[in-house]
């Protein structure tokens, strides 16, 4: 009987090896499939984010054009052409993001752009609906990408678990060095499944900690290291997705969505604590002229350069963001109008002194900005009105000569800041 058992031992080992090879090949196939699927999801997330950014920029431009029309200013053919260009760009983004209904709805508004007035709310309703729909699509795609990452971890981990279960009968004498650590790993994987993504980093550290404290086999060491690396990889990818969600791709400043969320939060804090919250709207003077003369590539370089200047001059607590087009905005938490005015004035002077390519061709022989400031609760009762009033102050700075800082409180009192 002993000789028979020894004769069957190579056969059992060969069978175990074949089972291991099959499971490894299965792991490779699953890994490859998930990588391709997840890459496609990330690409979709980026398209949907681009659509949301383009829609916000289109709304801002339409609002500015409607406000000028409401004040009986003459709309030029150039205004219509720029709006039409932006609308076509959004339609293309909608098609790329897989939102043909948004593209169709906006296509029906092309003719309405020519006759856009301050009382014409139809196009704004269409754009607002498109923005909400695009945001929902973006969040849905982001959730799909995170779920795919989680499923990828669990699938590969399950294959490793199957590999160990298949070898359990042959290596039962290593019970304390294999199955007990394996049970702990299974518990850690279950924790990941319940608390993704917040506990990924903590779980990876706990897996490594358990490996040091408990006896284990070399196989457990390998699978533990692999799982820890998977956790680290998913954590890094989730952070990258978070950055895609809150950052403007061109300037690397925070995007409008992230700015708006924090503005609403800071205003709620202000209501409870009695602090002030200020924002500054910053617009590059004669930027269209610069783009037309030197091209959009040069214009994009100016946007990136000025974004770096704005970010460098802000305090750690401030939030510099790209509002859309050539407009930037800065959120000043727990800050009144006077302090926001001082920071903005310093920023305006630094931008005037900043060497910019081809700036001698600008009307003042240099690149300048106009800035409008509004504060809560002094100038507004909610976040939406605060943005509008800061924009009104910016418009006043533009109409009164550009290259200056104006506050809403000053223009509402019939005064102009020097």
Q: Which residues of 319-334 are buried (b: 16+ CB within 10 A; e: fewer)?
A: bbbbbbbbbbbbbbbe
Q: Is the distance from CB of 254 to CB of 319 less than 8 angstroms?
A: yes
pLDDT at 202 over 90: no
Is position 149 within any domain?
no
Is position 408 within any domain?
yes
The CB density around residue 295, as the number of other CB atoms within 10 Å, is 12
Q: Which two tokens stand for residue 370?
A: 């106009």
Distances in Å between the alpha carbon of 206 and those of 85, 203, 231? Answer: 54, 5, 11
CA distance 125 to 203: 46
Is position 172 within any domain?
no
Strands 277-284 and 327-332: antiparallel
Give me the chain's average pLDDT, please: 76
Question: 302-310: which pairs have CB atoms within 8 A and are 24 or more residues apart?
Answer: 302/356, 302/357, 302/367, 303/250, 303/251, 304/250, 304/251, 304/252, 305/354, 305/356, 306/351, 306/354, 306/367, 306/369, 307/251, 307/252, 307/253, 309/347, 309/350, 309/351, 309/354, 310/253, 310/282, 310/347
pLDDT given at position 92 = 81
pLDDT given at position 407 = 96
The DSSP H or E segment spanning 314 is none
Q: Which region among 10-14, 99-103, 119-123, 159-163 has the lowest average model confidence (pLDDT)?
A: 10-14
Is position 214 within any domain?
no
CA distance 308 to 347: 12
CA distance 54 to 256: 11
Is position 281 within any domain?
yes
pTM of the model: 0.47
pLDDT at 391 over 90: yes
pLDDT given at position 7 = 44
CA distance 86 to 120: 19
CA distance 379 to 390: 9
Is position 239 within any domain?
no
For 346, residues 6+ apart whose C-beta sits below 8 A from its C-beta are 313
Tens-place pLDDT, residues 337-348: 999 999 999 999
pLDDT at 23 over 70: no
Domain that holds residue 292: 256-412
Question: Between residues 1 and 302, which one has the greater pLDDT?
Answer: 302
Is position 9 within any domain?
no
Report the pLDDT averaged over residues 267-296: 92
Strands 277-284 and 369-376: antiparallel
Q: Which two tokens stand for residue 156?
A: 């590969």
For Cα atoms 161, 165, 166, give the angle at the middle one, nearest 5 degrees: 115
Plot region of 314 (φ>0 → left; ψ -120 to 50 → alpha; else → beta): beta
For 82, residues 6+ apart whose C-beta sits below 8 A from its C-beta are 61, 288
Q: Is the distance from CB of 58 to CB of 93 less than 8 angstroms?
A: no
Task: Work out how many domains the chain is built from and give that number.
Answer: 1
Tens-place pLDDT, residues 168-188: 555 554 555 565 556 666 665
Instruction: Tell me the pLDDT band of 298, cut-offs 50, 70 and 90.
Output: very high
Tens-place pLDDT, residues 313-353: 999 999 999 998 899 999 999 999 999 999 999 999 999 99
Report the pLDDT averaged over residues 206-212: 62
pLDDT given at position 6 = 40
Can you give the CATH number for the domain in which 403 is found?
3.30.70.270
CB-count exposure of residue 17 (10 Å: 0-12, 13-18, 19+)? exposed
Q: Is the distance from CB of 335 to CB of 277 less than 8 angstroms?
A: yes
Is position 165 within any domain?
no
For 396, residues 6+ apart whose C-beta sits below 8 A from its C-beta are 372, 406, 411, 416
Tens-place pLDDT, residues 250-268: 888 999 989 999 999 999 9
The total number of residues written for the chain in this structure: 418
3-class DSSP assignment, residue 289: helix
Whose CA is closest to 196, among 231, 228, 224? 231
pLDDT at 72 over 70: no
CA distance 256 to 99: 21
Across 1-5, 88-92, 156-160, 186-190, which has the greatest mean pLDDT? 88-92
pLDDT given at position 364 = 85
Across 73-87, 268-282, 404-418, which has the greatest mean pLDDT? 268-282
Q: Which two tokens stand for residue 381?
A: 């009762």
């Amino acid at each position: 009987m002993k000789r028979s058992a020894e004769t069957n031992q190579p056969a059992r080992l060969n069978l175990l090896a074949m089972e291991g090879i099959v499971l490894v090949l299965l792991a490779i196939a699953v890994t490859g499939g998930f990588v391709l699927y997840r890459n496609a999801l990330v690409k979709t997330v980026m398209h949907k984010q681009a659509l949301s950014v383009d829609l916000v920029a289109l709304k801002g431009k339409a609002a500015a054009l409607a406000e000028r029309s409401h004040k009986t200013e003459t709309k030029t053919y150039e205004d219509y052409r720029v709006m039409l260009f932006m609308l076509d760009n959004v339609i293309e983004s909608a098609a790329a993001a897989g939102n043909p209904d948004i593209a169709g709805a906006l296509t029906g508004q092309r003719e309405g752009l020519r006759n856009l007035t301050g009382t014409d709310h139809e196009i704004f309703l269409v754009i607002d609906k498109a923005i909400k729909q695009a945001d929902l699509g973006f969040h849905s795609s982001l959730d799909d990408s995170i779920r795919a990452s989680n499923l990828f971890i669990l699938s590969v981990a399950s294959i490793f678990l199957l590999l160990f279960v298949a070898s359990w009968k042959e290596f039962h004498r290593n019970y304390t060095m294999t199955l007990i650590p394996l049970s702990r790993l299974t518990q850690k994987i279950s924790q990941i499944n319940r608390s993704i993504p917040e506990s990924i980093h903590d779980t990876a550290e706990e897996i490594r900690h358990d490996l040091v404290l408990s006896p284990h086999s070399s196989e457990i060491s390998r699978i533990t290291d692999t799982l820890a690396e998977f956790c680290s990889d998913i954590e890094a990818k989730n952070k990258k997705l978070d950055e895609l969600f809150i950052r403007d791709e061109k300037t690397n400043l925070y995007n409008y969505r992230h700015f708006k969320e924090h503005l609403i939060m800071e205003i709620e804090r202000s209501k409870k604590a009695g602090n002030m919250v200020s924002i500054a709207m910053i617009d590059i003077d004669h930027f269209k002229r610069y783009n037309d003369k030197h091209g959009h590539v040069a214009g994009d370089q100016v946007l990136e350069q000025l974004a770096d200047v704005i970010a460098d001059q802000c305090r750690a607590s401030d939030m510099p963001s790209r509002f859309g087009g050539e407009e930037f905005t800065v959120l000043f938490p727990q800050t009144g109008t006077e302090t926001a005015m001082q920071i903005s004035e310093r920023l305006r002077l630094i931008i005037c002194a900043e060497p910019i390519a081809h700036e001698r061709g600008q009307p003042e022989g240099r690149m300048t900005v106009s800035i409008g400031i509004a504060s809560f609760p002094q100038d507004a009762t909610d976040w939406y009105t605060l943005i509008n009033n800061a924009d009104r102050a910016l418009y006043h700075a533009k109409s009164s000569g550009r290259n200056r800082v104006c506050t809403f409180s000053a223009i509402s009192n019939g005064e102009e800041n020097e």
